[in-house]
Chains A and B, each alone.
Chain A
């Protein structure tokens, strides 16, 4: 292995107990990279069209990026892929921690698991070997407990790394994810439920193999250069000033193109919580289940989520593998848990402003509770906000909620409801599969209050403030995710610095321009998606990408790690192919891409009459059509044209039992 990747995957069948190793031709990496691209290739090839996401035919893949472990920076993200039980189509979620290099140290770029076990099991993977063990004693334990036990049980000399589900995944909650490093979670797409359905409690990686890039010296030279940008940290304003900056941004008629260095400095100081009040004030953060405004969660109410509050209880900063920034943190908390990973912006606002909950202690508690249970905090918050609105409208009453008074900002009821969702207890059972599934059961028009794309609850970024977000929520192969593109992301990616044909945004522009559907926006949105596929193929964190393509030497790192001599344009073409491959997966599995378009509230139809997003609506239809066209897909329905479908039907090659 001297190309950064191992050239091998492990296929495990939990129904039969078969475990086999498969060699992957170099050409596959050159077409789709490793990480999510490799995952898309295998899943498109091997999951039959009508496979039940919770049945034995679905395949759950744990993949590491082509750059992970090669001396590059920001490349410690691993990805889990599978057919999503939440959306019915392509599912992926990524996560940091220390797991990604551990996958490759076992000798594999990915572990692909099909079949279902009858009894709880865990999978132990070593250097080129794997074994299935009974996990009856672990079933029912939370993710932190499970990880502690398995780390001790499987340790030889090197510390093993663990990915596992908590009770939410065991209970097949469709909004559950997969955890590592005591509370990091690959939360989206409901893939924890797939693992639960397979009765697979955990994977333990105990490999010790070296990961060798083609040119380590060049890798290090590039990393040192990148670190000069990544380590630049200047003194910055106080937390409470951030909200005021957001308010100022709201008032101005113009906006400046965002330079990601500013965001990096915010991340370095506070992590993603830097955005808390600022996002509320500028209209980026949806409030009160997307029907409220910043006025409903004004500076006085949001003061409890001032970024400095999170910083003050941070014991130490937390870095994912190979990350020089360390946006995470370990926080001391009071109450049932003494520590928790610093809650992310998404978590804080989904459990805060979206439900009008002002109680920061409850957010710390729920953060740890959800991480241990393995439940997605975005979907959990979105589903609670949905339930509160149903209660407000009288669609559900105290008789349905086991006596809970589900009113806006009722912290005790919100906490009790989430505890019930994790246990699937009473009303919690109804809500444990997210808002779309719950709305279907409640009926009576409840679907109007379920804010999702294709079944996945929307993140805490409002398309009425930046329309780029909602294009990606609606039109991506995996809908409802904020970690791909937005107009602001395009500004921060600075791809035009590397690819001259891409449009360069104006430094300053009138805000009204954001809502005009034009070709430059379609090209920029598509470029975000393609770039993200390259980032996910290499295992790179989006926050590294925010430094800008001229400061994060992604393409040069890939060339130095693999020995390839590809141009940035060629890498973006790979990202394009992966996008079509994922969309083809959806078409194969009967998804109509238009079914993922969220309801009218999200695009401002009708527009809000007050607050930061007053009078704003998004011409989503036109933007989606233009966006799909950029990939050569049918703009009317998002179907890739038959002549551009990537050839992915190669039959498996070279399998050996291990």
Chain B
């Protein structure tokens, strides 16, 4: 697939609940969860772990209940 200019998810940390709905939704499991937190914010947040696998389907953004994912150009 020509990946140029195809949108990938951008995670908006401030809005994110770390609920992993997007992690489950991604059909190719390219969204990972941070393995450690910080003292101030100890939650494990989602991130695009394997960009090469992303099929740009937008499911993660569509299903995030709090609109913490934006599909944006890579």
Q: Which residues of A contact B (CB under 8 A)?
A: 69, 71-73, 98, 101-102, 157-159, 208, 210, 216, 219-220, 223-224, 227, 230-231, 314-324, 326, 329
Known contacts A157-B29, A158-B26, A158-B28: A319-B65 contact under CB 8 Å: no
B window 13-63: CB within 8 A of A? 17-21, 23-24, 26-29, 34-37, 42-44, 53, 59, 62-63
Known contacts A98-B20, A318-B44: A224-B35 contact under CB 8 Å: no
Are B43 and A316 in touch, CB under 8 angstroms?
A: yes
Are B17 and A71 in touch, CB under 8 angstroms?
A: no
Are A319 and B66 in touch, CB under 8 angstroms?
A: no
Are A317 and B19 in touch, CB under 8 angstroms?
A: no
B34: A residues at CB distance < 8 A:
316
Minimum CB distance partner of B45 in chain A:
A316
Cross-chain pairs A/B with CB under 8 angstroms, 20 sampled = A98-B20, A101-B24, A157-B29, A157-B53, A158-B28, A159-B29, A216-B62, A224-B66, A227-B17, A227-B66, A231-B17, A315-B35, A315-B37, A316-B35, A316-B37, A316-B44, A317-B44, A319-B43, A320-B20, A326-B43
B43: A residues at CB distance < 8 A:
316-317, 319, 326
A210: B residues at CB distance < 8 A:
59
Kindly provide the distance from the CB of B22 to the nearest chain A CB, expressed in whole angstroms: 10
Are A220 and B65 in touch, CB under 8 angstroms?
A: yes
Kindly provide the distance from the CB of A65 to the nearest chain B CB, expressed in whole angstroms: 14
A208 to B17, CA, bound (A): 23
Kindly provide the distance from the CB of B74 to the nearest chain A CB, expressed in whole angstroms: 20
A210 to B35, CA, bound (A): 27
A223 to B64, CA, bound (A): 10
Are B19 and A158 in touch, CB under 8 angstroms?
A: no
Kindly provide the distance from the CB of A513 to the nearest chain B CB, expressed in whole angstroms: 38
A208: B residues at CB distance < 8 A:
27
A88 to B63, CA, bound (A): 42
Known contacts A73-B65, A159-B29, A315-B36: A323-B19 contact under CB 8 Å: yes
Q: A101-B24, A314-B42 are in contact. List 14 more A-B contacts (CB 8 A).
A: A102-B24, A157-B28, A158-B26, A216-B62, A219-B65, A315-B37, A316-B37, A316-B42, A317-B18, A322-B21, A323-B20, A324-B19, A326-B43, A329-B42
Are A98 and B24 in touch, CB under 8 angstroms?
A: yes
B24: A residues at CB distance < 8 A:
69, 98, 101-102, 321
A216 to B65, CA, bound (A): 9
Q: Which of B19, B20, B59 has the most CB of A within 10 A?
A: B19
Are A71 and B44 in touch, CB under 8 angstroms?
A: no
Minimum CB distance partner of B17 in chain A:
A324
A157 to B17, CA, bound (A): 25
Are B44 and A319 in touch, CB under 8 angstroms?
A: yes
Kindly provide the distance from the CB of A56 to the nearest chain B CB, expressed in whole angstroms: 34
Q: Which residues of B contact A (CB under 8 A)?
A: 17-21, 23-24, 26-29, 34-37, 42-44, 53, 59, 62-63, 65-67
Q: Which of B17, B26, B44, B63 has the most CB of A within 10 A?
A: B17
A219 to B63, CA, bound (A): 10
A230 to B18, CA, bound (A): 12
A326: B residues at CB distance < 8 A:
18, 43
A337 to B19, CA, bound (A): 27
Minimum CB distance partner of B23 in chain A:
A98
A321: B residues at CB distance < 8 A:
19-21, 24
A463 to B61, CA, bound (A): 46
B35: A residues at CB distance < 8 A:
315-316
A158: B residues at CB distance < 8 A:
26-29
Kindly provide the distance from the CB of A226 to the nearest chain B CB, expressed in whole angstroms: 9
Are A71 and B19 in touch, CB under 8 angstroms?
A: no
Minimum CB distance partner of B28 in chain A:
A157
Kindly provide the distance from the CB of A69 to the nearest chain B CB, expressed in whole angstroms: 7
Minimum CB distance partner of A324 in chain B:
B17
B67: A residues at CB distance < 8 A:
220
Known contacts A157-B29, A158-B27, A224-B66: A319-B37 contact under CB 8 Å: no
A73 to B24, CA, bound (A): 14
The 8 closest A-B pairs by CB, nearest first: A223-B65, A324-B17, A159-B29, A157-B28, A316-B44, A316-B37, A220-B65, A317-B43
Kindly provide the distance from the CB of B33 to the nearest chain A CB, expressed in whole angstroms: 8
Known contacts A71-B63, A227-B17, A324-B17: A316-B29 contact under CB 8 Å: no
Kindly provide the distance from the CB of A545 to the nearest chain B CB, expressed in whole angstroms: 17
Kindly provide the distance from the CB of A331 to the nearest chain B CB, expressed in whole angstroms: 12
A71 to B63, CA, bound (A): 7
A317 to B35, CA, bound (A): 9
Minimum CB distance partner of B41 in chain A:
A317
B63: A residues at CB distance < 8 A:
71, 216
Minimum CB distance partner of A97 in chain B:
B20
Minimum CB distance partner of B63 in chain A:
A71
Minimum CB distance partner of A222 in chain B:
B65
Kindly provide the distance from the CB of B57 to the nearest chain A CB, expressed in whole angstroms: 11
Minimum CB distance partner of A161 in chain B:
B24
A219 to B66, CA, bound (A): 11
Kindly provide the distance from the CB of B14 to the nearest chain A CB, expressed in whole angstroms: 11
Q: Which of A220, A224, A315, A322 contacts B19 (CB 8 A)?
A: A322
A320: B residues at CB distance < 8 A:
20
A219: B residues at CB distance < 8 A:
65
Kindly provide the distance from the CB of A249 to the nearest chain B CB, expressed in whole angstroms: 28
Kindly provide the distance from the CB of B13 to the nearest chain A CB, expressed in whole angstroms: 13
A489 to B19, CA, bound (A): 24
A497 to B19, CA, bound (A): 27
Are A157 and B18 in touch, CB under 8 angstroms?
A: no
A231: B residues at CB distance < 8 A:
17
A324 to B43, CA, bound (A): 10
Minimum CB distance partner of B59 in chain A:
A210
A71 to B59, CA, bound (A): 12
